[in-house]
């Protein structure tokens, strides 16, 4: 990996979607006759959008026309003695059809909300997931602000939002049970995924807590919680919904600085996203069903889930042709994605069947609010992108170390001249040498903190590959974490 053929500063980001190309797929152009340009081996650059193979008939070169035999119904009903029975059967079919239609109408009316909107309890009002837990009541009964939880800081401290005080508060460990943890994980969007919960010292500086009322009869955790200025145990709940951010290999840091081939288990969250058996983009596993990638990867005509297959736990593109991929069932692009500026360049994919986690396939952790990173935090990028600008994408998974670059430096007139928004993060080296490139798009930018790997960004854009003053630009996943949780919950 050496991000895409990119435009010069000032012209805005530019993206070309380069798929993985086996070496023997394209042949040399034939030599021309007198008066034409000299013949040479033409470098092949894939088109911005993978070309779809035309549908062709198999086995028979000419379609076989088969006629359906005529139904004997007419003849059977011609007999006067059977006319009554035929009429009764016809009326029965009409009644059954009407009942089915009524059932479908009822089902449609029962779920009034379209798309990813969420229904407000019994009122029937539909509210966008983006408006849930934003501190403002949009539902008539305030349901959108009553079950709001988040995980804070590197220690996953569980916090509950108080609609009365308009602020977040950690949950006191006193009287806590695992069943409450499972409930909170469901409300975060993790479905039935639950890993662990424990009491730890609070490092958020909170002076007010949410405390469980042990004598309350309700089984609902939110109806048991009340405000308290003290926490007798002096411990708060640390909640892990999924065993994320761990790897089976520990020798990585000494091997990948400067960029090199990865080993199985090094980056177990890395996936290759294919269209028509070609690698198009990278992605990151965050749950058995959900993958984070870039919105520019799923622009039309690739915005339909039917185009995509995800491959996890495989290092070589050439091995993916043997199968083992997971079909994508749903694609959700950020509603405010701007294809010209690449602002809000993030998307989610939900798999049709969940991944099975092992040493080679594991999730990376979404960054929690309060996860403080250094201005030049060491990070790592990985993918099957080209190892040189305009080169072919790689058959093997590569990885390299980069560092975060402060927004003020990245937005200077000598670098990207204010093209980098708060929804983006720069990483690399201003002197060049190490960078992401075409084919890496959508893939992970991760960092290690508190012995856990966190997803800091998704590969988005840049100008050239590994050029001086042209570092890689990534979607700022910290900014999008709330949106990701909202979408997982709304589409669970």
Backbone conformation region of residue 175, classed left if phi is above 0, alpha if psi is from -120 to 50, else beta: left
Long-range contacts of 26-35 (CB under 8 A, 24+ apart): none
How sure is the predictor about 228, in pLDDT bands with cuts at 50, 70 and 90?
A: very high
CATH of domain 256-487: 2.40.10.10
Q: Is the dihedral of CA 224, 230, 234, 240 positive or negative?
A: positive
| Model confidence pLDDT, tens digit, residues 136-155 | 766 776 666 667 899 999 99
- pLDDT confidence of residue 129: 59
How sure is the predictor about 38, in pLDDT bands with cuts at 50, 70 and 90?
A: very low
- pLDDT confidence of residue 166: 84
| Model confidence pLDDT, tens digit, residues 348-381 | 999 999 999 999 999 999 999 999 999 999 999 9
Residue 315 or residue 147, greater confidence: 315
441 is catalytic: yes
| Model confidence pLDDT, tens digit, residues 317-347 | 999 988 889 999 999 999 999 999 999 999 9
Q: CB-based burial of residue 263 (10 Å sphere; 0-12 exposed, 13-18 middle, 19+ buried)? A: middle
- pLDDT confidence of residue 488: 95
Domain boundaries defined on the chain: 147-240, 256-487
Which of the residues 5, 441, 460, 463 is marked catalytic? Answer: 441
Whether 487 contacts 31, CB under 8 Å:
no
CA-closest candidate to residue 436, choices 377, 477, 385:
385
| β-pairing verdict for 157-162 and 167-170 | antiparallel
What's the chain's Rg over C-alpha atoms? 28
Distance CA 253, CA 245 (A): 15
Helix (H) or strand (E) holding 127: strand 126-127
DSSP secondary structure of 460-480: EE-SSSSBTTB-EEEEEHHHH
Alpha helices in 340-426 (DSSP H): 407-410
Question: pTM value?
Answer: 0.75
Whether 387 contacts 399, CB under 8 Å:
no
Phi, psi of 99 (to 5 degrees): -65, -40
Is pLDDT of 115 > 80? no
272 is catalytic: no
| Model confidence pLDDT, tens digit, residues 63-93 | 333 333 334 444 445 444 445 555 655 665 6
In angstroms, the Cα distances linking 321 to 297, 329, 449 are: 21, 20, 36
What token pair was written down for 117? 């909107």
User: Apex CA 12: angle with CA 445 and CA 393, to 5°?
Assistant: 45
| CB burial readout 440-477, b (16+ within 10 A) else e | bbbbbbbbbbeebbbbbbbbbbbbbbbbebbbbbbbbb
| Model confidence pLDDT, tens digit, residues 176-189 | 999 999 999 999 99
Is pLDDT of 313 > 80? yes
- pLDDT confidence of residue 354: 97
How many Cβ atoms from other residues are within 10 Å of residue 86's Cβ? 15
- pLDDT confidence of residue 57: 26
- pLDDT confidence of residue 417: 96
HSE, CB side, 13 Å, CA atoms: give it for residue 19: 19
Domain 147-240 has CATH 3.10.250.10: yes
Which of the residues 174, 187, 202, 345 is marked catalytic? Answer: 345
Q: Output helix, strand, coil percentages for the chain, rounded to the nearest 5.
A: 20, 25, 55
Which of the residues 296, 307, 333, 460 is marked catalytic? Answer: 296
Q: What is the mean pLDDT of residues 232-237?
A: 95
């Amino acid at each position: 990996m050496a991000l895409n053929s990119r435009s010069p500063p000032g012209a805005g980001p530019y993206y070309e979607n380069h798929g993985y190309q086996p070496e023997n797929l394209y042949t040399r152009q034939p030599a021309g006759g007198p008066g034409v340009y000299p013949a040479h081996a033409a470098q092949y650059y894939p088109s911005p959008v993978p070309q779809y193979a035309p549908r062709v008939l198999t086995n028979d070169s000419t379609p076989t026309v088969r006629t359906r035999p005529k139904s004997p119904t007419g003849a059977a009903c011609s007999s006067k003695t059977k006319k009554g029975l035929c009429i009764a059967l016809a009326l029965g079919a009409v009644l059954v059809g009407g009942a089915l239609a009524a059932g479908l109408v009822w089902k449609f009316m029962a779920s009034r909300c379209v798309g990813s909107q969420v229904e407000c309890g019994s009122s029937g009002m539909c509210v966008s997931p983006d408006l849930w837990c934003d501190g403002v009541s949009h539902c008539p009964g305030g349901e959108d602000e009553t079950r709001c939880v988040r995980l804070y800081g590197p220690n996953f401290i569980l916090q509950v939002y108080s609609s009365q005080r308009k602020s977040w508060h950690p949950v006191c460990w006193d009287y806590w049970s695992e069943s409450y943890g499972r409930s909170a994980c469901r409300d975060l969007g993790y479905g039935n995924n639950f890993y662990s919960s424990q009491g730890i010292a609070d490092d958020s500086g909170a002076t007010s807590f949410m405390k469980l009322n042990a004598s309350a009869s309700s089984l609902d955790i939110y109806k048991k919680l009340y405000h308290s200025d003290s926490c007798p145990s002096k411990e708060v709940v640390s909640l892990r919904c999924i065993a994320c951010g761990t790897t089976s290999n520990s020798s990585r840091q000494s091997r990948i600085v400067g960029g090199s081939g990865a080993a199985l288990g090094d980056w177990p969250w890395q996936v290759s996203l294919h269209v028509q058996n070609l690698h198009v983009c990278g992605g990151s596993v965050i749950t058995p069903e959900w993958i984070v990638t870039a919105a520019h990867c799923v622009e039309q005509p690739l915005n339909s889930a039917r185009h995509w297959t995800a491959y996890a736990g495989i290092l070589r593109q050439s091995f993916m042709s043997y199968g083992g991929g997971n079909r994508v069932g749903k694609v959700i692009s950020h509603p405010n994605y701007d294809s010209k500026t690449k602002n809000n360049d993030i998307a989610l994919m939900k798999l049709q069947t969940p991944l099975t986690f092992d040493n080679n396939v594991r999730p990376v952790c979404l960054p929690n609010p309060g996860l403080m990173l250094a201005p030049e935090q060491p990070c790592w990028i990985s993918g099957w992108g080209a190892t040189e600008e305009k080169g072919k994408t790689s058959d093997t998974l590569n990885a390299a170390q980069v560092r975060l670059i402060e927004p003020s430096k990245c937005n200077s007139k000598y670098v990207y001249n204010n093209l980098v928004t708060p929804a983006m993060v720069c990483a690399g080296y201003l002197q060049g040498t190490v960078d992401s490139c075409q084919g890496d798009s959508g893939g992970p930018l991760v960092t290690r903190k508190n012995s856990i790997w966190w997803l800091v960004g998704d590969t988005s854009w840049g100008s050239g590959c590994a050029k001086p003053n042209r570092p890689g630009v990534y979607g700022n996943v910290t900014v999008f974490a709330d949106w990701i949780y909202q979408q997982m919950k709304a589409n669970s």
